[in-house]
Structure 1
């Protein structure tokens, strides 16, 4: 099993975000299977390896570089073209084309489908993000009616829905890092999440959307958008409610109704098991074994499957048009 170098631009300051935490969690899980370390490539950090220093050693056949930072993936793939590389794909839509010799590990089935279309000749795998065991329902009294986190929230949620709800119930809006998120979710009756607008403006998709799952695991009733990776596990009417339902008044009415009834929609333990540590480690072990086998033999293969280049697609499109014209002509005679 090759050593894994997980590449991130930095691990603190302006690089601190949900995507970084998810990647660092994956590093922790990988370390239970093989040797895995974090490597930075933009910001030098005293306790971390730095990519440019590593590349001075030309003998790196026994390592795999794991790239994940969406907007940097294209440049990193080009820089590391002579090495073993995996793309750990969180979001989709970055408008990048990857060579088929870079296996892709996706964090959601939504992203899996995107890359299945975008890179049909690549090895592609599904490895969902981990939900920690600490996110569980403690069945305690809940003193917060409605909880919302500012980051990624839509203008509608912050400027319209929240002000309307504040007139009717106890609302807590969080705009900073929460040290004990499971405890906060266990105090909350209804959690609101609406990230569609945020990701639309970013030009990419919601890669996974961990917070609604964490809230559901803690027993919250969740009103959420279902864009991108959220559609993997959210099922409006069965384990959650779709937020932004046509009109502000309708949303307020539905949320108050859930608060009055204490709600009953939950995410089953069967569904949650897919995202717990044991299953993630098992899947990662299988995936890494498969990828290591591919890297052992990839240089022996010469009959590579043609990629979906613009020239090839234009040629296929032209062939299709001529085939239709020929068929129509033959039918007319």
Structure 2
């Protein structure tokens, strides 16, 4: 097994976010399989490797660089083109393309389909994000009727629906960092998440949508948007409800009706098994084994499948039209 270098711009300050925590969780899972380390490339940090220094090392063919920060991939991929590189894809829609020499590991099937279309000659794998074991229903008394986390929430949710619900139920709007999020989810009956507007502004997709799944694992009923990776596991009418559906009044009607006869989400633990550590580790082992075989092959063989460039697509379309004309003439 080659050593894995997980590249992130930094691990604190302005770089602290859900995507970073998910990437560091994947790093910790990788450490159970092979040697793996975090490497920063925008800011130097104490006790962490820095990319400029790592690239001075010898025999880097025995290492794999894992890149994941979507906004930086278009610059990092060319810089690392002489090495073994894997793209760990969270969100999609950044607009760059990758050569077939860079395998892609996606965190959702939604992102899997995106890269399957955009990069048809690359190795592509699915490795879901991990739901930590502390996200579970503790069967406690719940003193919050409706929970909303302000970050990534739509203007409609914050300015229209929340004020309308506040006089009618115990609603908690959180706009600060929460240390113990599983405890908070175990206090809430309903969790509302509406990120479609946020990601549309970013012009990329919701990569996975960790919080609705974490909240559901803690027993919350979920009202959520269905953009991007959320569509992997949310099934309105069966394990969740679609938020921002037609009108504020209709949203309120459904939320207040559910509160009148509320019961915890009854999703079985088997629903979450795909995202738990014990199932991710064996999947990760298979992926890493195949990646090592691929990079062995790449050392001695060039890619020889024609890429789907704009020019080639134009040529194929022209050929298709000409073939149709020939058939009609015949």
**TM-score past 0.5 threshold:** yes
How big is the shift at 1:139?
1.1
- Does the Cα contact within 8 Å between 2:70 and 2:94 map onto a contact in 1? yes
Equivalence for 1:277: 277
Q: Deviations over 1:11-52 (max 9, x none)?
A: 001100000000000001000000000000001111111001
- Matches of 1:328 and 1:156, distance apart in 2: 55
How big is the shift at 1:279?
0.5
Equivalence for 2:48: 48
How big is the shift at 1:300?
2.6
- Does the Cα contact within 8 Å between 1:221 and 1:266 map onto a contact in 2? no
Equivalence for 2:25: 25
- Does the Cα contact within 8 Å between 2:149 and 2:174 map onto a contact in 1? yes
Q: Deviations over 1:52-99 (max 9, x none)?
A: 111122420110000000010111000000000000000110111101
- Matches of 2:309 and 2:201, distance apart in 1: 28
Equivalence for 1:243: 243
Equivalence for 2:152: 152
How big is the shift at 1:303?
5.8
Equivalence for 2:79: 79
Q: Deviations over 1:110-136 (max 9, x none)?
A: 000000001000000000000001000
- Matches of 1:266 and 1:306, distance apart in 2: 49
SS at match of 1:37: strand
Residue segments in structure 1 that go unaligned for 5+ positions in a row: none
- Does the Cα contact within 8 Å between 1:238 and 1:265 map onto a contact in 2? no
Query: Equivalent residues in 2 for 1:1-333 (5 A)?
Result: 1-263=1-263, 265-302=265-302, 304-330=304-330
Q: Deviations over 1:125-180 (max 9, x none)?
A: 00000000100011111000110001100000000000000010111111111111
How big is the shift at 1:265?
4.3
SS at match of 1:223: strand
- Matches of 2:276 and 2:19, distance apart in 1: 18
Q: Deviations over 1:191-246 (max 9, x none)?
A: 00000000011000000000000000000011000110000000000000010110
Alpha-carbon spacing, 1:83–1:302, altered in 2? closer, same or farther (3 Å): closer
RMSD: 1.0
What TM-score, normalized by structure 2, do the two folds share? 0.98
- Does the Cα contact within 8 Å between 1:130 and 1:275 map onto a contact in 2? yes
How big is the shift at 1:327?
1.7
Alpha-carbon spacing, 1:264–1:172, altered in 2? closer, same or farther (3 Å): closer
SS at match of 1:77: helix
What TM-score, normalized by structure 1, do the two folds share? 0.97
- Does the Cα contact within 8 Å between 1:240 and 1:266 map onto a contact in 2? no
Which deviates more, 80-89 or 306-315?
306-315
- Matches of 1:84 and 1:303, distance apart in 2: 14
- Matches of 1:268 and 1:327, distance apart in 2: 57
- Matches of 2:304 and 2:58, distance apart in 1: 26
- Matches of 1:190 and 1:144, distance apart in 2: 8
SS at match of 1:129: coil
- Does the Cα contact within 8 Å between 1:3 and 1:34 map onto a contact in 2? yes
Residue segments in structure 2 that go unaligned for 5+ positions in a row: none
SS at match of 2:60: coil
Which deviates more, 268-277 or 109-118?
268-277
